[in-house]
Amino acid sequence: MEASNKAQGETSQSTEVPHETIVSTCQTTQPSSSSSSSSSSSSDSVPGVIADFSNWELGDQQLAVLLHYLSNSVTTLKLGNNGCRSEGIVALSRLLIDQDRQIKFIDLSLQGSRGEINLSVLSTAITSNTTLHHLDLSFNVFHLDDIGNLIKALSTNKTLQSLNLCKTGLDNSMVIQIGKNLPNMKGLRRLNILANPFGETGAEALQHGLQSQYSLWQLDMPRGFSSSEQIDYLLALNAGGRCLLMNDNDNNNNNNDDDVVMVDGRGDDREIPQPGIPTALWPFVLERVNRLITDKAIRASAFFFLIQNRPTFRIPSQDDRETTLPSTSRDGSWPTTFD
């Protein structure tokens, strides 16, 4: 602990950050002792490294030097309460586009008193990144152009799942832009926009965007809007597996007229394009709705939604019969592939 404090003091006095300083602050997350010997040889068992520089109050140049020497094994990078603005952001962006790195979590909250960071450069790096899952930008100050750049990045990036924009100055114009582009953010699952000064029109834009956005299931935002109940309803549908049904409909719309079958062999003239979602998968869709949606009224509406859209049930093909469902589904839980 004393060595770490000493390293912190030395870093604050100079922009030259020794490699030993960075190593001393990285906490290695060891694999669970209960893991089997067979799994220890897989790539998943390689320990991730957490580089925690939160609350060091480092300047922009100091952070740039520090990130330059960051180990390739770091998967979690915590930079909260520092001064990362321009040079530091450029260095961080280089890490994100480096294909030899596997950074999955970045905390960039509270960057200095003004909290203004170069989001344009960072957004460009996010566009091509395929490893980052969580990005915390809370307690910074953003403008409409910043949000526009971030929206473009999220419309291309399909791997970033969690974004924290709490207390970032989002007004109606910014939230409206987010709402309009929500359908294009196909990888986003969790979004935090609490403590922002947007109003009713911003909330309505989020509601309209969610009608065609099927992956987002957690939206932390202020309450009390006229659209809050409808937003909760759409999020509940997403949590229940609406994306599977919508993807199926998209596939159906793109099929040729030759790929049609009769329903139940009864001469029904209603044509159903192929292929649809296998019948064996739908019990898991319905079970997921029942498990994740606790409100009975919303749960009933979710079931009605699924029935109303008349999902395609088809006779399993030979490939279906030979394909085993994921092992996690055998005990009744949802297959991890669709989480």
> Global pTM?
0.67
* Alpha carbons 59 and 75: distance in angstroms, whole number: 22
Confirm if 201 and 173 have CB atoms less than 8 A apart: no
Tell me, yes or no, whether 54 and 161 share the same domain: yes
* Alpha carbons 339 and 327: distance in angstroms, whole number: 14
Residue 33 counted as domain residue: no
Q: How far is CA 34 from CA 29, 39, 46, 295, in A?
A: 14, 11, 15, 37
Q: Give the pLDDT of residue 115.
A: 53
* Alpha carbons 275 and 256: distance in angstroms, whole number: 11
Domain of 223, in residue numbers: 2-28+45-243
Tell me, yes or no, whether 262 and 147 share the same domain: no
Dihedral angle over CA of 191, 194, 198, 202, nearest 10: 30
Q: Give the pLDDT of residue 288.
A: 74
Tell me, yes or no, whether 237 and 253 share the same domain: no
What DSSP letter does each residue of 243-258 carry, written as one string?
Answer: HHHHHHHHHHHTS-TT
Q: Give the pLDDT of residue 190.
A: 96
Residue 76 counted as domain residue: yes
Per 3-state DSSP, what percentage of the chain is helix, strand, and coil (rounded to 5)?
45, 10, 45
Q: Give the pLDDT of residue 19.
A: 42
Last residue of a domain, one of 226, 243, 260: 243
Per-residue pLDDT tens, the chain, 339 aa: give them.
Answer: 444 444 444 444 444 444 444 444 444 343 333 333 333 333 333 347 999 999 998 999 999 999 999 999 999 999 999 999 899 999 999 999 998 999 999 999 999 655 578 889 999 999 999 999 999 999 999 999 999 999 999 999 999 999 999 999 999 999 999 999 999 999 999 999 999 999 999 999 999 999 999 899 999 999 999 999 999 988 988 887 777 665 544 444 444 433 333 333 333 333 333 344 566 666 777 777 777 777 776 777 766 666 665 554 444 455 544 444 443 333 444 333 333
Last residue of a domain, one of 243, 259, 287: 243
Number of domain units in the chain: 2
The CATH number of whichever domain residue 137 belongs to comes to 3.80.10.10
The residues, any chain, with a CB within 8 Å of residue 233's CB and separated by 6 or more, are: 298, 301
Residue 37 counted as domain residue: no
Confirm if 132 and 106 have CB atoms less than 8 A apart: yes
